[in-house]
């Protein structure tokens, strides 16, 4: 597996030797062997290891951020933010090592006490995408390890250098052998290895961030083993602009949500749902903002850089073909800066050196259009007009996804009604659809996931199981439901 710099595709960045399915299973077996020992380390001590990992990321922040930019083309400011998200996650869970609370619960009977404990799930297999190659893995790995699980991590195929650096920092934090193993593998090998490891009883939890199509397959595989995976899948995230919105703020939000990271976030904006009264003015300002935005060299101050890999660029171009015959294309397509007829206008760097895609706005999107319900994972934003709040809500929901949703309004009631009515797991008011913070529950509904949540204390429910205990000190056999004098 070889990665190239997507902003300069003649530059090789990283390499990894992919494992075969048997090696994948072996890694799960090693993880199984190491798990009891790791779980026996007191949680506060595991928390210290997490704290140490956080310090190492802090000390190596700039170098790692530069590597993220070099291997996936994310603008440097965003790459720094991503590494910061790892540090924040470590800070949060280091403290959780000293909490990881259970409860004392009253019994129906006297001389009897009930308790609950969080117990580790066991071996976790984590499969992550390359658009957030350090932050998203940390959302899984840090709490999974803190809770006393061992982890087999399958990073994205196009980020071998980042995965190696990330793993090294985790290992240097003081993890015993076998507690975290990174296995470079392609998709088919991962499925084959995972399936065999599940059959052999070597996997207790799967965490997956990626496309909804692959998520369905992971869900089926896990379901056959009566497991509930943690699934963080795609999105078609709406941004609703009410007639009383601050339009400049909404334009700024739509620009970042839709085109930041070249639209390659699961939380990226899919469709602007704008009230008909302000539609034309919004579109005019949005179009101008998109045309004025700097695009190109991700080490410079740009809105976005290249697509992550050739596969992402090809898939984005297929999505453009989807809309071309049906819609008026606004924005830069056909007229703008990274087109063949005028490639250098406003572009930072050399547009021919890398995997750059031009920003596109598609106006006149309707609920029955394929683009309305298809996640594009690229710099393309649809615009749909509405007349009533109910129509806006329907447009915000009916695509089948339910990850993130945003509303721009100056009316409190609109904001709260939107929150109540929208299916999304994450709602923003007067803010971007993307940019979730590291200690709030992250996750979606519908095609965006199976309701699992990451981040903050909520993720503890993914990586621990509740165990109850009762302790009877009556000295005679007390029977629940039968010897309950008080009821
Ligand atoms: C993803 O795209 O998989 O909310 C995660 C955000 C980021 C995480 C996105 N903090 O945009």
Which among 78, 82, 232, 375 is annotated as catalytic? 232
391 catalytic per annotation: no
φ and ψ at 228, to 5 degrees?
-105, 110
Residue 163 Cα to ligand 1 midpoint, Å, equals: 18
* Rounded Cα distance, 84 and 61, in Å: 8
Residue 13 Cα to ligand 1 midpoint, Å, equals: 24
Query: Which of 136, 230, 378 gets mutated to test ligand 1 (max ligand atoms within 8 A of its CB)?
Result: 136
Query: Which of 267, 312, 452 gets mutated to test ligand 1 (max ligand atoms within 8 A of its CB)?
Result: 267
Which residues sit opposite 125 in a β-bridge?
152, 206
* Rounded Cα distance, 460 and 96, in Å: 9
* Rounded Cα distance, 128 and 462, in Å: 16
Residue 389, classified by CB atoms within 10 Å of its CB into exposed (0-12), middle (13-18) or buried (19+), is middle
Residue 344 Cα to ligand 1 midpoint, Å, equals: 30
The two tokens of residue 48 are 């210290």
> pLDDT tens track of the chain, all 487 residues?
999 999 999 999 999 999 999 999 999 999 999 999 999 999 999 999 999 999 999 999 999 999 999 999 999 999 999 999 999 999 999 999 999 999 999 999 999 999 999 999 999 999 999 999 999 999 999 999 999 999 999 999 999 999 999 999 999 999 999 999 999 999 999 999 999 999 999 999 999 999 999 999 999 999 999 999 999 999 999 999 999 999 999 999 999 999 999 999 999 999 999 999 999 999 999 988 988 889 999 999 999 999 999 999 999 888 887 776 554 444 433 322 333 333 446 789 988 899 998 888 888 888 988 889 999 999 999 999 999 999 999 999 999 999 999 999 999 999 999 999 999 999 999 999 999 888 999 999 999 999 999 999 999 999 999 999 999 999 999 998 887 665 5
Cβ of residue 436 lying under 6 Å from some atom of ligand 1: yes
- The reported pLDDT for the residue numbered 337 is 30
Residue 410 Cα to ligand 1 midpoint, Å, equals: 26
Q: What sign results for the dihedral spanned by CA atoms 31, 33, 34, 37?
A: positive
Cβ of residue 181 lying under 6 Å from some atom of ligand 1: no
Return the closest-CA partner of residue 395 out of 168, 292, 241: 241
- The reported pLDDT for the residue numbered 481 is 87
- The reported pLDDT for the residue numbered 1 is 93
- The reported pLDDT for the residue numbered 319 is 85
Cβ of residue 74 lying under 6 Å from some atom of ligand 1: no
Strands 404-408 and 426-429: parallel
Query: Which of 83, 132, 253, 260 gets mutated to test ligand 1 (max ligand atoms within 8 A of its CB)?
Result: 132
Could you give the ipTM of this predicted complex? Answer: 0.94
- The reported pLDDT for the residue numbered 282 is 95
Beta strands in 35-122 (DSSP E): 103-106, 112-120
* Rounded Cα distance, 66 and 75, in Å: 9
Please count the other Cβ atoms lying within 10 Å of the Cβ belonging to residue 105. 12
Residue 132 Cα to ligand 1 midpoint, Å, equals: 7
């Amino acid at each position: 597996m070889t990665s190239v710099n997507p902003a300069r595709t003649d530059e090789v960045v990283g390499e990894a030797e992919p494992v075969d399915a048997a090696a994948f299973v072996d890694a799960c077996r090693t993880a199984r062997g190491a798990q009891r020992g790791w779980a026996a380390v007191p949680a506060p001590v595991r928390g210290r290891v997490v704290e140490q990992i956080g310090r190492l990321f802090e000390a190596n922040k700039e170098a790692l951020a530069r590597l993220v930019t070099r291997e996936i083309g994310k603008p440097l400011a965003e790459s720094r933010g991503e590494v910061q998200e790892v540090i924040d996650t470590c800070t949060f869970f280091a403290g959780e090592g000293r909490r990881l609370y259970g409860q004392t619960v009253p019994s129906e009977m006297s001389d009897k006490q009930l308790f609950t404990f969080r117990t580790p799930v066991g071996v976790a297999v984590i499969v992550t995408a390359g658009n957030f190659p350090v932050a998203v893995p940390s959302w899984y790995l840090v709490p999974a390890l803190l809770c006393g699980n061992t982890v087999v991590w399958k990073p994205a195929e196009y980020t071998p250098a980042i995965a190696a650096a990330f793993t090294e920092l985790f290992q240097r934090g003081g993890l015993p052998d076998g507690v975290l193993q990174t296995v470079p593998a392609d998709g088919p090998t991962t499925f084959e290895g995972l399936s065999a490891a599940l059959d052999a009883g070597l996997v207790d939890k799967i965490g997956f961030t990626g496309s909804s199509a692959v998520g369905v397959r992971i869900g089926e595989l896990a379901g056959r083993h009566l497991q509930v995976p943690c699934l963080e899948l795609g999105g078609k995230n709406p941004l609703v602009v009410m007639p009383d919105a601050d339009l400049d703020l909404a334009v700024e939000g739509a620009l970042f949500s839709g085109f930041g990271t070249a639209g390659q976030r699961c939380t990226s904006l899919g469709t602007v749902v704008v009230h008909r009264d302000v539609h034309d003015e919004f579109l005019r300002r949005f179009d101008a903002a998109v045309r004025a935005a700097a695009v190109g060299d991700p080490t410079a101050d740009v809105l976005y850089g290249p697509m992550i890999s050739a596969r992402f660029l090809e898939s984005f171009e297929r999505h453009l073909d989807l809309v071309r015959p049906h819609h008026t294309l606004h924005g830069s397509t056909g007229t703008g800066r990274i087109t063949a007829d005028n490639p250098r206008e406003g572009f930072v760097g050399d547009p021919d050196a890398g995997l750059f895609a031009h920003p596109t706005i598609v106006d006149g999107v309707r609920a029955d259009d394929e683009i309305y319900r298809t996640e594009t994972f690229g710099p393309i934003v649809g615009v749909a007009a509405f007349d009533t709040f109910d129509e806006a809500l329907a447009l915000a929901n009916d695509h089948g996804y339910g990850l993130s949703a945003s509303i721009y309004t100056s009316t409190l009631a609109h904001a709260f009604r939107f929150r109540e009515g929208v299916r999304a797991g994450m709602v923003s008011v007067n803010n971007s659809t993307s940019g979730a913070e590291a200690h709030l529950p992250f996750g979606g509904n519908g095609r965006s996931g199976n309701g699992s949540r990451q981040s903050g204390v909520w993720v503890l429910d993914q990586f621990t199981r509740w165990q109850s205990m009762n302790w009877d000190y009556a000295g005679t056999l007390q029977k629940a439901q039968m010897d309950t004098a008080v009821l």
